[in-house]
A = this chain, B = another copy of it.
Amino acid sequence: MLRVGAVVDELGGELHGDADRVIAGILPLHLAGPTHLSFLSHPRYRRDLEHSQAGCVIVPPDMVNIARQRGDCIVAQQPYLYFARLTQLWKRMQRQGTEDDGPRIHPSAVIDPSATIDPSARIGPLCTVGERAVVGADTVLVARVSVGERCVLGSRCLVHPGVVLGADGFGFAQDGAEWVKIEHLGAVRIGNDVEIGANTCIDRGALLDTVIEDGVKLDNLIQIAHNVRIGPHTALAGCVGVAGSADIGARCTIGGGAVVLGHLRIADDVHISAATVVTHSLPKPGQYSGIFPIDDNAAWEKNAATLKQLSRLRDRVRKLESLSPPLSEH
């Protein structure tokens, strides 16, 4: 429970209404009641705002009149950002009542004696941390995380269960039909403020390190191969696969299930749609896509069959063009 006044004291914003109103939770506009705080994340939800029963709503400056006709509000330049900070405040508040968070290093974790764990870091249950690995200040390995030998995590990282950092990259030389393993002598180097989702894997480099720069956010079940670099503040959604030695710039976003092939370069500020396959370098910022459109199965089957003849269809069109009267006549 928080007073609205306490929220504004902590997070700023201009309160129109009762500072002593007590808030029991945060809910979307259409579900919130008189004891809830809510927020307008986008102007398209203006209707929901008008009808919301929320005790208080967070709105941008240009919505203040509409919001006040409805009841109490907090005016913030960026309501969604304000909401994010509110969730953080809420979590801290919830934590206050409970006992402390238990031991800094859970006794079930298996830590190599040569590893360096910052005294403020937290290593949850059933993690493994290898030889000479480094875990920075305030970094949290939630549970069941593996950090391989010599891998380095910066400060304030959050690593969810099942993550594997520093498994061997997938590298082999061929000797006839057989694969001869390339031992991976590099490691994984992760900057500050990186979040890594559940069951995501980041492989160690062959000779140099795989590098994840500051502020990168990785969702669940992502595969980052050896020698990849991901630039600062880039975010990858779930199930993305990045092949070896790909170099991804800063402030990119990559949608869920996308695949980035190896040995290519993606510029800063590139945005890749979900399920798109990046087959060549993208030297310019922009939004890129490559998704087969979904359709009912019968229509898809017909179109897919024609697609297999597409270059021939183009040849047929060319032939028709060569047969038809010159375009200049029209």
Contact = CB atoms under 8 A, between A and B. Distances in A.
Interface string A306-319: 11111101101101
Interface string A196-224: 01110101001110000001010111010
A87 B310 contact: no
B309 A173 contact: no
Interface of A: 25-28, 31, 78, 80-81, 83-85, 87-88, 90-91, 94, 98, 106, 108, 110, 124-126, 128, 131, 142-144, 146, 158, 160-162, 164, 167-168, 170-175, 177-185, 193, 195, 197-199, 201, 203, 206-208, 215, 217, 219-221, 223, 225, 232-233, 235, 237-239, 241, 243, 250-251, 256-257, 259, 261, 272-280, 286-297, 299-311, 313-314, 316-317, 319-325, 327, 330
B110 A108 contact: yes
B233 A178 contact: yes
A314 B223 CA distance: 39
B330 A301 contact: no
A120 B251 CA distance: 48
A307 B308 contact: no
Nearest to A90: B185
B294 A292 contact: no
Contacts of A199: 162, 164, 199, 201, 221
Contacts of A323: 324-325, 330
A106 to B, nearest CB: 7
A78 B87 CA distance: 52
B241 A259 contact: no
A185 B26 CA distance: 9
Given A146-B144, A179-B235, A206-B87, A292 B291 contact: yes
Contacts of A180: 81, 84-85
6 contacts: A276-B294, A279-B291, A291-B300, A299-B308, A320-B324, A322-B330
